[in-house]
Amino acid sequence: MIEGLLGFAAMFVLMALRVPIAVAMGIVGFVGFALMRSWPAAMSSAAGEFTDIGAYTLSVVPLFVLMGNFVTRAGMSRDLYQAAYAFIGHRRGGLALSTIAACAGFGAICGSSLATTATMARVAMPEMQRFNYSTAFAAGSVCAGATLGILIPPSVIMVIYGIMTEQSIGALFAAGVIPGLVAMGFYMLASVWVTSRHPEYGPPGERASWAERLKAMRSIWGVVLLFAIVMGGMYGGFFTPTEAAGVGAMGGFLFALARRSLTLPVLRDVLVESARTSAMLFLIVIGASLFANFLNFTELPNALKEFVTQFQIHPIVVIIAICAIYVVLGTAMESLSMMLLTVPIFFPLVTSLGFDPVWFGILVVCVIEISLITPPVGMNIFVLSSVMPQVPTTTIWRGVVPFIVADILRMSVLIAFPAITLFLPKWLGL
Amino acid sequence: MKRFESLLSYVAAAALFAMMVLTFADVLGRKFLGNSLVGAVELTELCMLVMIFLALPLASLAGEHIVFDLLDRVMPPRLLTLQQSLANLLTGLVFGAAAWLVWRRSVRTFEMGDITARLEIPLGPFHRMVAAMLLLTALVHLVLAAREAMRATSGQPAVPAAGASTGSGS
């Protein structure tokens, strides 16, 4: 157990030295494993981590990343925003509500919150500024709404959780749907609450006629079709999640092509960008799995289990404590590495307490969403301020506060009623 | 150098595109023509190895690996450059060690004559490619380390570009 704690300490020292997190996890995992077992064993397993990263089931990651990048280039976020705007834009705070709805829609074809932030910021921020929205409120609605990208399937984070914990990716995706809609509802309530206290933060937009609404609805057929093919194909038993990702990427490619948003240089950029992102992600996966191998030998997960049973801590208290730890860690750590670092410890504990691993996966995704918008290290905030350099970071920080409150309320609901999460996968027989 | 970089990125891009087309064609073939593409799975796997490891030095060069940079704001610029240099030196050494480990593995792969199941493509050259690309990634980090070390000693301010934390799967 002491070895495990030393391992964590060494990792945090390396991280503080500015060594890439993937490399820090890898060094500690490798050296720790070698000291506890033997150097030849550590060397052999480390070499295997690199050569086996090409396993077929892992190809789901780059393909979903690619799909997200294609639909981002295809400009589908603008259509979604206009459709949402046609229906709810004329209400108080309507543009913020439209932003949140459009983010949810975009999340259904894109598995990355960062891509959702970048594309929605470009579409929604200028509109909200045109209607004199409070900059903080506008930025908050984009940052928070975009976190839905990883909760509503497809989701790259869920895929990585599924691979790490050997859970069905199909079940995780299905489990994310209803919590995603619940989350959208809470975000909308948060913006209604803000505009009811400060009507000047979110003046209403223009009312659209029914003819305009129908026209806007028709323009999002591409999004609906792509979602239907990918998810329908997966749950209809036509293809596996990996194949769904390949078909989705192809669909995104064809849409981008049909909309004439792909030239050869753009295509090359999309592909190279997705390849680099995948290389970066897989390096973290390799580092994390070296680290996890080491942790399994340290008995740290078992020690934690014994601690919980010894003091007879109520399982729900354990879950709440884990979520609280995640929220605190998430303010300072990048989300993916936070998940990969902690899941090897928390997952055995949570499942030994009898909780559903899929349900816990959705909770992990939810706390990651919170970590994306909590300062000082909130990736969505960074992305928004890189797309909109004129918006000060501190303004965004102010704007996300009501949405963080909404997130915490949503987490409480999901913890209190596991059926919200588990109903759909059960119904689909997964 | 620039040319080599764009060569790597073209091949990585082509490998990713091939993965997409292979998976799609495999599904189409199975659903509509009754039989899947022979060896689509193993070709996808090999494409993925090529894509990941050719893109790895590019990601390092672009400073895309996620680092914990919360302390950057409180560090004196000169110390920060020195820290970046040390971190890159250590990262370079780690990638160098990884390259050596995978190289040893590739020697064994050649000796065993490992091949893929359907198309019987030899795996040795692919493992050797992984080792070579890890070595290249190591060199990228060592060059960055040397550059930053020179900057730290000459007293020029830190450039945040290398190692800035952007992009992630979340």
Closest partner CB to B170 (pick from A62, A246, A335): A335
How many domains does chain B divide into? 1
How near does any CA of chain B get to the CA of A279, in Å?
A: 5
Mean pLDDT by 10 residues, chain A (430 residues): 89 92 95 95 94 92 95 90 94 95 95 93 94 96 96 94 93 96 97 95 92 91 92 90 94 93 93 96 93 89 86 91 93 87 92 95 96 91 92 93 96 96 92
The rounded distance, in Å, linking the Cα atoms of A343 and A323 is 12
CA neighbor of A153 nearest in space, from A231, A251, A233:
A231
Rounded average pLDDT over B9-22: 97
Burial A4-21 (b: 16+ CB within 10 A, else e): beebbeebeebbebbbbb
Residue A164 in tokens: 């790490």
Sign of CA dihedral A7, A8, A14, A19: positive
Nearest to A54 among B16, B22, B46 (CB): B46
HSE on the CB side for A129, CA within 13 Å?
12
Range of the domain at B29: 2-66+73-154
The verdict on residue B138 lying in a domain is yes
Residue B107 maps to a domain: yes
Q: How far is A306 from chain B (nearest CA, A)?
A: 32
Neighbouring residues of A370: CB distance < 8 A, sequence distance ≥ 6: A147, A326, A327, A330, A404, A407, A408, A411
Residue B166 domain flag? no
Distances (CA, A) of A392 to A21, A139, A174, A372: 28, 10, 37, 17
- Total beta-carbon pairs less than 8 A apart between chain A and chain B: 217
Residue B137 lies in a domain: yes
Q: Which residues pair with B122 in a beta bridge?
A: B115
CB A94 within 8 A of CB A199: no
Are A54 and B52 an interchain contact pair (Cβ–Cβ within 8 Å)? yes
Question: Is B159 inside any structural domain?
Answer: no
- Note whether ipTM > 0.85 here: yes
Task: Pull the structure tokens for residue B55.
Answer: 């893109």
A104 touches chain B (CB under 8 A): no
Give DSSP secondary structure letters for A266-318.
HHHHHHHHHHHHHHHHHHHHHHHHHHHHHHHHHTHHHHHHHHHHHTT--HHHH
In a domain, B140, yes or no: yes
DSSP state of A109: T
The residue among B18, B149, B122, B75 whose CA lies nearest residue A271 is B18
Residue B20 lies in a domain: yes
Partner residue facing A243 (CB), from B27, B46, B134: B27
B161: DSSP letter = T
Which tens digits make up the pLDDT trace of B92-142?
999 999 999 999 999 999 999 999 988 999 999 999 999 999 999 999 999
Contact indicator for B80, B72 with CB cutoff of 8 Å: yes
Distance from CA of B57 to the nearest CA of A (A): 9
Residue B163 lies in a domain: no
Contacts of A55 in chain B (CB under 8 A): 45
Residue B158's pLDDT band, with cuts at 50, 70 and 90, is: low
